[in-house]
């Protein structure tokens, strides 16, 4: 009975009221309806368990009131700096990471450049990619005999092939042959694309995807859409 009331009576009313609820960040009417529906469902279930009657109008009213005050189904407090309630109270302001700021005297950049651990022209690595490469690197070393591992680690530390050959007890000609074999093994194990990305310093694809999403929200707001704040994720 309550599920039919929720679908047939509460949700249509929430859709009509959604445009009057303040949106925070990238929220839109559809997301507000989904969140308010969950809050209304919780109210209706709680009332049923307590033995109190509740109408579709009451469930809609209190769900909309909670959403307007900044409450959400996942968090109802107002102390979290990312919570809608904290933003509505004016205690915090979110800025897009693409906003231009003065990094140094007469030098401008974006907030990305300020908080990132490397310079704006440096090609950093994605931590997830870095962790995956470390696991693959250990698997690559384990798959080779001790002499090869000694040479590989010597090269990874910045040594020359001649120094690596001396550690392995090899002459220059044998060390050169080993170097070619290690290079072929690296390409075979990791693939040419991964090796090229490491050498060229190509940034991970998620950065471009994240920037595209933010630009879409900014464009929506510029055209008169509801999002006014664009918090970093």
Q: Encode the chain (233 residues) as per-residue pLDDT tens digits.
A: 788 999 999 999 999 999 999 888 778 999 999 999 999 999 999 999 999 999 999 999 999 999 998 889 888 788 887 788 888 888 887 777 777 776 666 666 776 666 665 444 444 555 666 666 677 778 888 888 888 888 888 887 878 888 888 888 888 888 888 888 888 888 888 788 777 766 665 555 555 556 666 666 666 666 665 444 444 44
How many Å apart are CA 165 and CA 143, to the nearest integer?
19
* Whole-number pLDDT of residue 213: 63
* Count of positions (residues) in the chain: 233
Report which of 177, 170, 138, 176 is spatially closest to residue 156, judged by C-alpha positions.
138
* Whole-number pLDDT of residue 30: 93
How many Å apart are CA 67 and CA 84, to the nearest integer?
9
How many Å apart are CA 180 and CA 178, to the nearest integer?
5
* Whole-number pLDDT of residue 120: 43
How many Å apart are CA 205 and CA 128, to the nearest integer?
12
Q: Rg of the Cα trace of the chain?
A: 28
44 close to 5: Cβ distance less than 8 angstroms: yes
Residue with tokens 């919780």: 42
* Whole-number pLDDT of residue 74: 86
Q: Which two tokens stand for residue 102?
A: 């003065």
* Whole-number pLDDT of residue 176: 85
């Amino acid at each position: 009975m309550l599920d039919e009331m929720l679908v047939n009576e509460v949700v249509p009313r929430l859709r009509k009221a959604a445009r009057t609820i303040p949106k925070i960040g990238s929220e839109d009417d559809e997301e507000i309806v989904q969140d308010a529906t969950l809050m209304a469902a919780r109210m209706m279930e709680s009332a049923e368990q307590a033995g109190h009657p509740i109408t579709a109008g009451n469930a809609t009213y209190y769900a909309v009131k909670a959403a307007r005050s900044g409450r959400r189904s996942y968090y109802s407090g107002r102390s979290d700096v990312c919570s809608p309630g904290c933003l509505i109270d004016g205690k915090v302001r979110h800025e897009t990471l693409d906003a231009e700021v003065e990094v140094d005297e007469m030098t401008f950049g974006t907030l990305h450049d300020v908080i990132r651990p490397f310079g704006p022209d440096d090609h950093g690595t994605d931590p997830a990619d870095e962790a995956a490469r470390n696991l693959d690197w250990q698997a690559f070393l384990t798959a080779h005999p001790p002499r090869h591992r000694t040479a590989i680690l010597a090269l990874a530390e910045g040594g020359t092939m001649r120094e690596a050959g001396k550690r392995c007890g090899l002459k220059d000609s044998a060390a050169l042959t080993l170097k070619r074999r290690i290079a072929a093994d690296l390409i075979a194990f990791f693939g040419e694309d991964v090796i090229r990305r490491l050498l060229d310093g190509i940034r991970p694809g998620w950065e471009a995807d994240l920037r595209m999403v933010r630009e879409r929200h900014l464009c929506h707001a510029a055209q008169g859409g509801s999002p006014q704040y664009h918090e970093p994720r």
